[in-house]
Chains A and B, each alone.
Chain A
Amino acid sequence: MTDATAGAVPASKDAKPGQMVAADGRPLKESLNRALRLQKMRALMLIAPLLLFVLLTFIAPIADMLFRSVQNGIVSETLPRATAGLSDWDATTGDLPDESVYEGLYYDLFIAAERKLHTRLGSRLNYEMTGMSSLFRQSGRSLDDIGDVYFDQFKDLDKNWDEAEPWAALMGDADWLQEMQAWKKADGEMPEFELADGMEKLLPRTAETYAAFAVFAQVDEGKSLLKEEPWVLVHTALYQDLMAKDVSGYSGPQAEMLKAADAAVSGFESVTFKDGMNAIDDDWLSHTVWQTIKTYSPEFTNGYFLNAVDMQKTPDGPEFRSENQRIYGLLFKRTMFMSLMITGSCILLGYPVAWLLANLPMRTANLLMILVLLPFWTSLLVRTSAWKVMLQQQGVINDVLVWLGLVNDADRLVMINNQFGTIVAMTHILLPFMILPLYSVMQTIPPSYLRAAKSLGATNWTAFWRVYFPQSVPGIGAGSILVFILSIGYYITPEIVGGTTGTFISNRIAYHISSSLNWGLAAALGTILLAVVLGLYWAYDKIVGIDNVKLG
C-alpha cells in the first residue's frame, strides 16, 4: 500500500499529500466511487431491457385501464356545441336549455349521425339512464326532417342548390377547385378541400358545416366533392347565415345564386330547433335527459366508480341507487365472503397435511409431496373440468352416493352451478398454495419444542396450541394471503362451475368487457379490485417479504 502511494504521488497533481491514491493516480476514494458507479450502471443496463418490456407490455395496460375508469371524453367529443352551451345552463331550476343549445345539439347530432357515432354515445349514456340509446338511435334516423324544411325551399328556388358542383364552387378556394376538376381516380389522393377566402366571415355556419362535410366525404367516404351533394345540414346553416348576415358585398363565384337566395330567405318557412327536436322525439323536452347529458359532459368523471359501488350521479351529488338496482355491493360482498370461505377451508385442509409432511421422515414426505405437487402442476382447466365431472347431477359423486343408497336416484344432490361447487373446486385448486408455504414454515419448527412442552406436563392440546401453533402462524399468514389474493380475482372456475350464484366480481368485469361493452365500468370495477389486491400484497410483503416467495 505504501509503495503504491509513494509511486503514484508524483504523477498526480491534485492529490494531497497523505491521501491514498490508486494505481492510475486518482484518489482512492474517487476511484472506488467510480468503480461502484460503473457496477451500478452495469446492473441497471442488465435490468433495463426487461424493465422496459414489463413497463410497455404490462404496466402501461394497467395504467390505461386506470385512466379509462375516469375518462369520459365521448360526450364532449360527440356533442361539442351542445355541451359548450350547456355549461351556462342551470340544471336545478327545472327550465329547459335555450334555443342555442338545441341548435348546437342539432348540428352535433347531425354530424355524429353521418359518421355513425351517435349510437356509441347513446349506449354510453344508456348506462346512466335507460332509454338514451333508443333516443339517440331514433333521433339519428329522423334528423333530416328539420333540414329538409330548408333544403326543399332552397331547391325550389334554384335547382343548383341541390347540385354538388355549384356548392363546391361557392365554398371552395379557386385553386383547389381547379386541382379538383383536373383530378382523376388514377392520381391517387384527392386534393384536400380548402375554404374560399372570406367565406368564413361571410357565411360562418355554412363554412363550418360544409368543411365538416368535406372532410367526411373526402376522408371517411373517399368521394369527390364535385359529385357529392352536401348534407341538408348545410342548407340549414345557409338559411341561418343568410338571415343573420348581409351578402350584398359578395362578388365571388355563384354570387348571383347566393344573392337570389338571400333575397328569398326572409320569406322562407322556418322551424325552431327546439320544436324540430321535439317533433323527432319528445324526450328532447325532458328535463332529465338534459340533466344526464350535462352531468356526463366533463372530460373526466367519477361516474363509473360511483356506478361500481351502486351509486349514481344526480344534480344534488352522488346518491345510492334504489334497492333493487344494487348489484355490485352484493357481488363484492359475495366475492369477499367466498374468498374467505375458500381461504378458511384451505387452512382447515392444508394445516394437517402440512403438519404430516413436516413431521414424516424425508423419504415418505417427498413421496406424499408428489400428491400435492401434481395438482399444482396440472392445468387449471383440467382440474376445473374434473370437478365438473365429479359434481354434476349425473356426475361421479352423485353416482357413488346413489349406488351406496345414501341418495335417491330421483333427488340427486345439486352441487354444481352454485356457491358450493365454486368453493369446493377452488379450494381444491388453491390448496397447494396453502400447503407449500405452511410446509416450509413448519419444517423450521424443531420437534423437540413439542416434546419439551409435553415433558413439562402439557397435554397434547396445550403443547400444540401454546407452543407449536404460534410458531406456525407466519405460514398460515403467508398461505392465507396468497390464497385470498388468488381467489379474489379468479375467473375461469367460477365461470364454469359457479352458475349464477357462485360468480365473482371478475365474472362481472369480463361480462362488461365482452358483452355489455361498458368498458368504463369494467375498468372501474377492475381498479377497485386491484386496489384491494395491492393492499393485501403490501400486507404480504410486510409479513413475508417479496423476496421470500418460493416455488415448488
Chain B
Amino acid sequence: MAKLILTDIKKQPLSFTLPVVAAAGAFAGLFIGTAQGSGLLGIVIGALLMAGLAYAALELLDRSQEKMVRYGIAALFLVAGFLLGGLPGLVVGGLFGWFFGWFVYWVGEGRYRAKLPPYLTAGQVLWHYAFRVICGAIFVFLITPIIVVMPLSFNAENFFTFTPEMLRFDPAGYSLKHYRDFFTSNEWQSALRNSLLIAPAATILSVTFGTLAAIGLSQPHVPFRRAIMAILISPMIVPLIISAAGMYFFYSRVGLQGTYLGVVLAHAALGIPFVIITVTATLVGFDRSLTRAAANMGANPVTTFFRVQMPLILPGVISGGLFAFITSFDEVVVVLFVGSANQQTLPWQMFTGLREQISPTILAVATILVAVSICLLTVVEILRRRSERLRGLSPG
C-alpha cells in the first residue's frame, strides 16, 4: 500500500515550500499568540520560525538526516511548549512539533503528490486535501463528545469541566470518587439492577417471538405480508413519545402502569422490529433445501429447526437480540411514563440527574456505558462479518 506511487515525487522549489510552511506556522502562531496575549506577534513569530526551520531542514541539512531533524523539531517544540504552558503546554508542543516536522518534509519533498494521479491540477490537489481536512473535522465532531466524557469522569471535583489541576496532570486532580459513588450509592445500584432485570427479560420476549415470526414471514407464501410487516415494524417508526403516551394511557387502564411486567412488555414491543429486521435479513440467504433434506432424513420440524436452521441463522438472532437489548437498556422515554419510581432504570436515573442535580457520577456511568457499547459494537461487527463470510458475500 505505502509502496504505491502514482506520481513521481520531486523536491518543490523554495518559493513554494517556504510560503506554505510559513502560512501553516502563522495559523498555529495565531492561536498560541492569542492564548499568550498578542495574536499579531504570534502570527509573525510562527511564520518566521517555520520558514526558518523549513529552510534549514531542506537546504542546509542533508536528506539523510531527516529523522534527526524531525526529532529535533519535536524536541524544540516540546521545550517551547513547556516553557510557555507547563505540562499541558508540553503535550500540545510535542504534538505541534511532531506535526510540523512531518509537514515540512511532506510539503518540501512534494510527497503529498505521491498517491494522486499525475494529471491533477494544483487546485485539485489542494481541494483533495481540503476535503480530507473537512472530513477529519466531521469525524472529530462525531467522536469528541464521547472522548471528552472519559477523562472528566475521573475529575476529583464535582465539576462538569476540566479543572486547572487536571490540565496540569496533577494526580490530585484525578480520582475514582465518582465511580465509587456509582458503586456505593443505593439509587444508582437499584437503577442498575432494574436495568439488568428489565432489559434481558424484554430481550428474551422479543427474540423468541421475533425469530418465530421472522421464520414465518420468510416463507414463500404469506398472506398479507406487507400489512403484517408494517404492523410489526411500527414500534420503530412511531415516535417514542407517542408510544409512551399511548402505553401510559392504555397500561394505566389495564393496571400494568408502574409494574415491572408493564415495562418489560413495552420494551419487548420496542425491540421486536430490530429482531424482525436482522433475522429476516439473515434468512434471505438461507438455503431452503437444507430443511427439506433434514425432513427427508426423518427429522421432525422441531429437530430441523434446532439442529439445522437455528445454527445457521444464529448470528442474525444474536445481533437482533443485541439490538433489542440495547433498545431496552438505553430506553428512557417509555419507562419514564410506563414505569414508576420502583422501576427506575439507569437511563432514567441519568435523565433525572441531568435535569436536576448535576453530578459527575453521570459521567462515570457514561464512561462505563461507552465501554459496554464498544463491547457490543465489536460483537455485532464480528457476527456480521462471520455471517457474511458464511454466505460468501464479502471476502473480508
| Residue B9 CB within 8 A of the other chain | no
A385, B161: Cβ atoms under 8 Å? no
- Interface hit among A62-70, A141-149, A155-163, A174-182: A62-70
Q: Assuming A377-B376, A489-B240, is B245 touching A526 (CB within 8 A)?
A: yes
B220, A428: Cβ atoms under 8 Å? no
| Residue A473 CB within 8 A of the other chain | no
Specify which chain B residues have a CB less than 8 angstroms from the CB of A522 in the assembled complex.
Answer: 245
Q: What residue of chain A has the Cβ atom nearest to residue B367's Cβ?
A: A382
Query: Which residue of A43, A368, A377, A519 contacts B377 across the interface (Cβ within 8 Å)?
Result: A377
| Residue B318 CB within 8 A of the other chain | no
| Residue A93 CB within 8 A of the other chain | no
Q: What residue of chain B has the Cβ atom nearest to residue A366's Cβ?
A: B396
- Interface hit among B62-70, B104-112, B178-186, B248-256: B248-256
Query: Which residue of A43, A50, A385, A399 contacts B350 across the interface (Cβ within 8 Å)?
Result: A385
Specify which chain A residues have a CB less than 8 angstroms from the CB of B357 in the assembled complex.
Answer: none
Q: What residue of chain B has the Cβ atom nearest to residue A530's Cβ?
A: B242
B127, A460: Cβ atoms under 8 Å? yes
B369, A390: Cβ atoms under 8 Å? no
Q: What bracket does the count of chain B residues touching chain A fall in?
A: 35 or more
Specify which chain A residues have a CB less than 8 angstroms from the CB of B212 in the assembled complex.
Answer: 46-47, 49-50
Specify which chain B residues have a CB less than 8 angstroms from the CB of A514 in the assembled complex.
Answer: 337
Q: Assuming A45-B216, A49-B212, A386-B146, is B221 touching A61 (CB within 8 A)?
A: no
Q: How far does the alpha carbon of A488 sit from the alpha carbon of B167 in the complex, in Å?
A: 40
A47, B351: Cβ atoms under 8 Å? no
Q: Assuming A59-B234, A61-B246, A489-B240, is B366 touching A405 (CB within 8 A)?
A: no
Query: Which residue of B215, B269, B337, B377 contacts A46 across the interface (Cβ within 8 Å)?
Result: B215
| Residue A296 CB within 8 A of the other chain | no
Q: How far is the CB of B326 from chain A (nearest CB, A)?
A: 7
| Residue B26 CB within 8 A of the other chain | no
B347, A39: Cβ atoms under 8 Å? no
Specify which chain B residues have a CB less than 8 angstroms from the CB of A196 in the assembled complex.
Answer: none
Residues 222-236 of B contacting A (Cβ, < 8 Å): 222-223, 226, 228-235
Q: What residue of chain A has the Cβ atom nearest to residue B37's Cβ?
A: A405
| Residue A467 CB within 8 A of the other chain | no
B161, A381: Cβ atoms under 8 Å? no
Q: What bracket does the count of chain A residues touching chain B fall in?
A: 35 or more
Q: Assuming A65-B242, A349-B141, A352-B135, is B149 touching A386 (CB within 8 A)?
A: yes
Specify which chain A residues have a CB less than 8 angstroms from the CB of B205 in the assembled complex.
Answer: 53
Q: Assuming A51-B213, A488-B239, A529-B242, is B347 touching A379 (CB within 8 A)?
A: yes
| Residue A324 CB within 8 A of the other chain | no
| Residue B332 CB within 8 A of the other chain | yes
Q: How far is the CB of A175 from chain B (nearest CB, A)?
A: 37
Q: How far is the CB of B308 from chain A (nearest CB, A)?
A: 16
| Residue B192 CB within 8 A of the other chain | no
Per-position 1/0 for B281-302, Cβ under 8 A of A: 1000000000000000000000
Per-position 1/0 for A361-396, Cβ under 8 A of B: 111001010111111011111111111111010111
Per-position 1/0 for A61-92, Cβ under 8 A of B: 11111001000000000000000000000000
Q: How far does the alpha carbon of A490 sit from the alpha carbon of B124 in the complex, in Å?
A: 41
Q: How far is the CB of B237 from chain A (nearest CB, A)?
A: 5
A-B contact pairs, 15 of them (CB 8 A): A40-B221, A47-B216, A50-B210, A53-B205, A53-B272, A54-B235, A64-B246, A353-B139, A382-B146, A386-B146, A386-B148, A387-B145, A506-B239, A513-B337, A546-B226
Considering the complex of A and B, which 9 residue pairs feature the smallest CB-CB distances, nearest first? A489-B239, A46-B216, A405-B34, A61-B246, A386-B145, A61-B250, A50-B213, A65-B246, A506-B241
- Report B's interface with A, CB cutoff 8 A: 1, 31, 34-35, 37, 39, 124, 127, 131-132, 134-135, 138-139, 141-146, 148-149, 152, 159-162, 205, 209-210, 212-213, 215-217, 219-223, 226, 228-235, 237-251, 253, 265-266, 268-269, 272, 274, 277-278, 280-281, 319, 323, 326, 329-330, 332-333, 337, 347, 350-351, 354-355, 362-363, 366, 369-370, 373-374, 376-377, 380-381, 384, 396
Seed contacts A62-B238, A382-B146, A382-B366; 18 additional CB < 8 Å A-B pairs = A50-B210, A53-B269, A61-B243, A366-B396, A370-B377, A373-B381, A374-B373, A377-B373, A380-B347, A389-B148, A394-B160, A396-B162, A404-B35, A492-B332, A509-B241, A530-B242, A546-B229, A552-B381
